[in-house]
Structure 1
Amino acid sequence: MPKKKRILILSEGFGAGHTQAAYALSDSLRLLAPHLQTRVLELGTFLHPTLAPLVIGAYRKTVATQPKLYGLVYRSQDRKALNRLTQLALHRICYAQTAAIIRQLRPDTIVCTHPFPSAVISRLKRFGLEVPLCTVITDYDAHGTWVSREVNTYLVSTADVKHKLESLGIPSGSVQVTGIPVHPNFWQPHNRDDLRTRFGLQRLPTVLVMGGGWGLLQDRKFLHHLTLWREQIQLVLCLGSNQASLRTLTEDSRFRHPNIRLLGFTKEVSQWMDVSDLLITKPGGMTCTEGLAKGIPMLFHKPIPGQEERNLQYFTQMGFGEVIRSAETIDVWFRQLVDHFPDIAHARSSRPAGGGPAYSPARCSQAIMELVR
């Protein structure tokens, strides 16, 4: 009996999307090809469980409190690979231990969903590692930090991202346009009537608000404006693991209403998207792609300068959503939901499975399967 092929999937915790993509790939690969073995590691956290959370926490604080500074740094490095100092730091922190992990796990293919582990594996390949390296870019832009000539295959979201990689010196044959991977939960729609019953929802226009700790759910003025519509629209606020915001909103009388649902961490985001008629979110690559797979219209709240601006540009140009410029944007969309709810609900219920022609959610995993073969 032939041994199972092993795929090592490496990510980092700088924002949830990279690791979400890694686990989405792992689960979808095992679904499509049970003969494959997958292992997901957040490389820095696995190697340095004390240091890595401090570095990631500092990064998140900078993004949340100084977004303009983050955007300036992002744009200044847009077409540049990781500088030598950063490469040296990654080398010192990760190089020897990563080589030992690879010797122990003996993967047939390595897949990276974050530029840092991709840079570490690229350096190992430069010095003799022969395992094929596939890098999955998890945004709708190709920042220079992703670029390395040692990457055998890039899997990217759009043709524009492929063209940018080509302009940065990556051969066209090394880049495939597959879309960003999402978990198999997002591949098929669920019955909306069944979901309403299970979640205890009324047959009313339903708006899902997502944003976690990255700014949207800290904007109290914005959230309070949403509650002005609570008699006509059901609001589902998904706060993730942000327990502080969950407690604060639970104690606020404006959010104690039969048509307002406050959610903590949930593994049922795909079902909540199916039962909703509009998604309000930060324009992160993963959440937007999940919304794309579900065919749900999107409104985007205050993109962080950098990759979120690039994601926003793609999704608005393609007509998948609109940026929130003022309270009037909310009011226009909510009025449409209220006035045309029967037609909107029918269109949502009759949506074809699998994301439609704009996006095939299984394509990224299928491309990796072909590489392993």
Structure 2
Amino acid sequence: MRSIYEQKIIILTGSLGEGHNQASKAIVESAKRNYPHLRVKVVDYMELTHPRLHVAGQFFFVQWMKHFPSVYGYLFQKTREENTLIQMLKRFSTFSLHKLSTMLETENPAIVVSTFPPAAAGMSLLKAMGYTNVPTATVMTDHTDHSYWIHSHTDYYMVGSDVVQVALERKGVPSEKISVTGIPVNPMYSQPVDSERLRDYYGLRPSEQVVLIMGGGEGMIDKEIIELLKSRAYPQGVRFMVVCGRNVKLYQVLLEEFLDHPQITVMGYVDRMHELMAIADLMVTKPGGLTISEALTMERPMLLVKPLPGQEQDNADYLVGIGVARQAMAGELKHQLLTLITSPSLLQEMKRRAAINTHKDSALLVLTRLMDIQQNQRLSREWSEDMNLVPYEVLNREVYVNDALQHYYDSYR
């Protein structure tokens, strides 16, 4: 039997939002630092299975979230539990599975990890239909129990919190299949930093309080935040650092608007976000799974602005519940922000709660668990030998839908 170091881990990700890719990159970076001989390969599931649609899919997903969040939230809630609608969505995500099967035959992985729900669905269906028996693990990138993450032939789940573990157990996932590792973040967020040197580098006075405003990779910064910055209705000893991500248009508008403003620093895409988090007294952000996990790792208090219905609201509920964040819905931003920045004891308590609830080196915890899984499998042969797997062919659509999928969905009943 080859050791895990001589085999390969495949990570299936997707580009709908930043979080799935960032989690995958965090696992890869941790492998480079801690297990340099371990082979880890990241594959974009959407690009693999739908090469002509994945770019358009990214664009329309962002537009949908910007302009029709209530529709997304409605569908999210309607499909939270297993039902006919979610089964249809899972079915759609598993088209072109022959490409996934071919990739598995070529790469011959020891284990396949999914950070993207459609990829987990595809791997589960391949196993249900007998085309592979490779161990599979799902790394959940939000604090949610949505049914799109849960599949009958997924072997293991890595989750961000005890709350998610309990929720999965209530949905019938055996406890031995669940590990609380934290959502994997880049190891640099766990490294000690020289905050005093960083404050000097970014031109901050020793007495300035730093509020870091983030809009995610797409730079989705709420208009209420911008209006508050324009109003100057905040103490003079506060420095706002605004990160616009890849939203070049927003960056140019805000840079011109606040060019001579002594309390506001506008930035575009930042590849050293851990430095900005290290000097922040408070983060104002959307509650994306990876962003909040990075903040928890660095023990930063958070003000969560208008969470979108769906996984963002689930993340916000979790953070508020453990006492590391406050939530600001429409019209509440100014009051919540001023309350926090004028209450040092409150911020200190939120930091203390974050230190209790964080998972340092979460990506390493994921890797360690993956290697434990591989060892426990005690594989006694090469993946390509003696498996009696059915060669994957493009199935007749009628047979595919009426036979194989029916067998797959029956396993939920």
The TM-score with structure 1 as length reference comes to 0.89
The 8 Å contact of residues 216 and 301 in structure 1, kept in 2 or not, is answered as no
Once residues 175 and 215 of structure 1 are traced to their aligned partners in structure 2, the CA distance between those partners, rounded to angstroms, is 34
* Alignment-derived partner of residue 252 in structure 2: 247
Identify which of 335, 343, 346 aligns with 2:342: 335
Which residue, 26, 30, 36 being the options, matches 1:34? 36
Deviation at 1:84, TM superposition (A): 4.2
Aligned runs of 1:193-208 on 2, under 5 Å? Answer: 193-203=196-206, 204-208=208-212
| Contact 1:12/1:44 (<8 A) preserved | yes
Q: Which amino acid in structure 2 is aligned with residue 106 of structure 1?
A: N
Match of 2:357 in 1: 358
Choose which of 284, 287, 295 in structure 2 pairs with 1:283: 287
Within 5 Å, give how 1:137-156 maps onto structure 2.
137-156=140-159
Task: After TM superposition, give the deviation of residue 169 of structure 1 in Å.
Answer: 2.2
Shift of 1:19: 1.0
**Does the Cα contact within 8 Å between 1:246 and 1:262 map onto a contact in 2?**
yes
Compute the displacement of 1:199 (Å): 2.1
RMSD over aligned CA atoms reads 2.5
**Distance (Å, rounded) in 2 between the aligned partners of 1:319 and 1:357:** 10
Amino acid at match of 1:305: P
> In the aligned structure 2, how far is the partner of 1:330 from the partner of 1:265?
24
Letter matched to residue 211 of structure 2: V
Residue 302 of structure 2: which of 288, 298, 303 is its match?
298
Query: Does the Cα contact within 8 Å between 1:189 and 1:294 map onto a contact in 2?
Result: no
| Corresponding position: 1:20 with 2:22 | yes
* Runs of at least 5 residues in structure 2 that lack an aligned partner in the other structure: 376-413
2:370 alignment counterpart: 368
Q: Is 1:53 paired with 2:52? A: no
Q: CA deviation at 1:266?
A: 1.4
Q: Is the 8 A contact 1:64 1:215 kept in 2?
A: no
Q: Deviations for 1:194-240, whole angstroms, at most 9, x for unmatched residues?
A: 111222222211111111376851x3332231351373211111111
AA aligned opposite 1:358:
N
**Residue-by-residue CA offset, 1:267-303 (whole Å, 9 max, x unaligned):** 1111110011110100111111110000011000000
Contact 1:189/1:274 (CA < 8 Å) preserved in 2?
Answer: no
The higher radius of gyration belongs to 2
> Residue deviations 1:132-170, cap 9 Å, x none?
101011111110011112111101112221222222222
Residues in 1 aligned to 2:341 and 2:356: alpha-carbon distance in whole angstroms: 27
CA displacement at 1:114 relative to structure 2: 1.1
Counterpart Cα distance in 2 of 1:14 and 1:256: 36
Corresponding position of 1:85: 88
Is residue 12–residue 42 contact of structure 2 (8 Å, CA) maintained in 1? yes
Question: 1-side partners of 2:44 and 2:238: how far apart?
Answer: 39
Structure 2 counterparts to residues 149-298 of structure 1, below 5 A: 149-203=152-206, 204-212=208-216, 216-217=220-221, 219-227=222-230, 228=232, 229=234, 231-252=236-257, 254-298=258-302
* Identical residues among aligned pairs (%): 28
Rounded Cα–Cα distance in structure 2 between residues aligned with 1:37 and 1:215: 33
| Structure 2 CA distance for partners of 1:328 and 1:297, relative to 1, 3 Å | same
Correspondence for 1:312 among 311, 316, 320: 316
- 2:397 aligns with none
Alignment CA distance shift 1:367-1:255 (3 Å): farther
Note the alpha carbon deviations across 1:304-343, whole angstroms, 9 max, x for none: 0011111111101100010124111112222236xx89x9
Q: Is the 8 A contact 2:218 2:245 kept in 1?
A: no
Picking from 93, 109, 112, the partner of 1:110 is 112
| Whole-Å separation in 1 of the counterparts to 2:136 and 2:324 | 32
Per the alignment, do residues 25 and 232 of structure 1 end up closer, same or farther by CA in structure 2, a change over 3 Å counting? same
Shift in alpha-carbon separation, 1:91–1:335, aligned structure 2, 3 A: closer
Unaligned runs of 5+ in 1: none
Contact in 1 for aligned 2:219/2:250 (Cα 8 Å): no
* Alpha-carbon distance in 2 for matches of 1:271, 1:366: 27
Displacement after TM superposition at 1:15 (Å):
1.0
Query: Counterparts of 2:43 and 2:158 in 1: how far apart (Å)?
Result: 19
Distance 1:257 1:274, change over 3 A: same
Q: In structure 2, how many angstroms separate the alpha carbons of the residues matched to 1:178 and 1:213?
A: 24
- 42-51 vs 235-244, which moves further: 42-51
C-alpha spacing 1:91/1:314, structure 2 compared with 1 (3 Å): closer
Number of aligned residue pairs:
361
